Amino acid sequence: MGSEIEIPILDFRKSSGVTLEEGSEGWKEMSKKVREAFESHGCFFLKCDEIPNELREKMFTGMKSLFDLPEETKQKFSNPGAYRGYTANSHVIPHCQSFGIDDALKPDTAQGFTNLMWLEGNPTFCETLSSLTSKTRELSLLILKMVVEGFGLPEKYISEVEELNNTNDSRMTRYQLPEDNKHLEIALVPHTDKGSLALICDNDVQGLQVLPKSGNWVDISIPPDGFVVIVGDMLKAWSNGRFQAVTHRVVTRGDKERLAFILFGVPKEDAVIKVPSELVDDKDHPLHYRPFKYEEFIDYHYSTRTEKAVLEQFAGL
Ligand SMILES: O=C(O)CCC(=O)C(=O)O
Ligand SMILES: [Fe+2]
């Protein structure tokens, strides 16, 4: 378990002196770094001004009281969809409890959720959840625009990458402590994300690990004023395999419980994922993936239930 690879840290904070106004030199420079990080590592650490300490504290305090609610209350948010709604101790997430909220940005979603969980509602948590979700979404759209710029693609591709990120599902997860507090336990099995982009922040308790091509798991320590940003299979496919969808997992150890908030950007079900012609050439970048519908990929994934190179099996040429 080592830190032989250095995950890039990209600093979007005003205090770092960069101006990220679209089209500016700073913006172009950062776009290049985003592209390079996704090509070399499939992820980067993002430092930003969007989640001040106060918001982060409110979020994780709120999440703690959410997970402390009685089991039958949490079960009210159950959903028959795979890994949707409230899940506890499933085979995929053996040692954790998790709420997956679909379409987290729809105006009534946070309200409906908090009213279901707390009889008297929970306006503070509702506001916190909406605010963190929308700030995180803004960041993910900014990053995707930078991807278009980083590849030097025409502007028309901005709406295409926005489509890749059409729907935002948020997830809140509590990882249980290992029984003897010492042994490392796999709380979330190794996987790649099946959507386009995931932004993850946590309560400062480590547990997330990525598996770079070099082959050893690397501990991830998410900056307190930011996120780790991870490429999913759909962005990898769209980039013609130039980006890596890095395999990651969560392990628990020690005596502090990990809480994580994740915003996944996913395409609409009927969206077609098609590599831009500018990213294909006969010599170095032959076409890697045929065009496909997102929902067909997801159906294939759930029907095969395999994690092994599912994108390659499904759409690889
Ligand atoms: O909790 C984390 O840090 C990662 C969660 C994750 O990878 C996922 O839910 O797909
Ligand atoms: Fe993940």
Among 66-75, 79-88, 126-135, the minimum mean pLDDT is found in 79-88
Distance between CA atoms of residues 122 and 110, nearest Å:
10
On the question of pLDDT at 250 being above 60, the answer is yes
**Which residue, judged by its Cα, is nearest atom 1 of ligand 1?**
260
Q: Are 109 and 98 in contact (CB under 8 A)?
A: no
Q: Please, which pLDDT band fits residue 187 given cuts at 50, 70 and 90? A: confident
pLDDT of residue 4: 56
Distance between CA atoms of residues 136 and 59, nearest Å:
13
Distance between CA atoms of residues 122 and 140, nearest Å:
27
- CATH architecture group of domain 4-315: Sandwich (2.60)
On the question of pLDDT at 299 being above 50, the answer is yes
Going from the Cα of 213 to the center of ligand 2, the distance in angstroms, rounded, reads: 17
Give the position, in ligand 1's atom list, of the atom nearest the Cα of 208.
Answer: 3
pLDDT of residue 31: 98
CB-defined site of ligand 1, < 6 Å: 171, 173, 188, 193, 200, 202, 208, 248, 250, 260, 262
Give the position, in ligand 1's atom list, of the atom nearest the Cα of 228.
Answer: 3
Distance between CA atoms of residues 275 and 178, nearest Å:
43
Distance between CA atoms of residues 157 and 148, nearest Å:
7
What is the mean predicted confidence (pLDDT) over 246-272?
Answer: 92
> Residue type at 30?
M
pLDDT of residue 193: 95
pLDDT of residue 196: 97
pLDDT tens digits along 121-166 = 999 999 999 999 999 999 999 999 999 999 999 999 999 999 999 9
What is the mean predicted confidence (pLDDT) over 71-77?
Answer: 94
Phi and psi of 138, rounded to 5°? -55, -45
Whether the complex's predicted ipTM surpasses the cut of 0.95? yes
For the chain, the C-alpha Rg in angstroms (whole number) is 19
Domains of the chain: which residue ranges? 4-315
Going from the Cα of 232 to the center of ligand 2, the distance in angstroms, rounded, reads: 8
CB atoms inside a 10 Å sphere around CB 258: 23
Q: Please, which pLDDT band fits residue 315 given cuts at 50, 70 and 90? A: very high
What is the mean predicted confidence (pLDDT) over 83-94?
Answer: 77
More confident residue, 79 or 271: 271
pLDDT of residue 3: 47
For CA atoms 165, 204, 96, 122, give the dihedral sign: negative
> Residue type at 172?
M
pTM for the model stands at 0.95
SS3 content of the chain, % helix, strand, coil (to 5): 35, 25, 40
**Which residue, judged by its Cα, is nearest atom 3 of ligand 1?**
208
Give how far the C-alpha of residue 28 lies from the chain's centroid of Cα atoms, to the nearest Å: 24
Quick one: which of 220, 229, 251 has its CA closest to 96?
A: 251
Residue 276: Cβ-neighbour burial (10 angstroms; 0-12, 13-18, 19+): middle
pLDDT of residue 316: 94
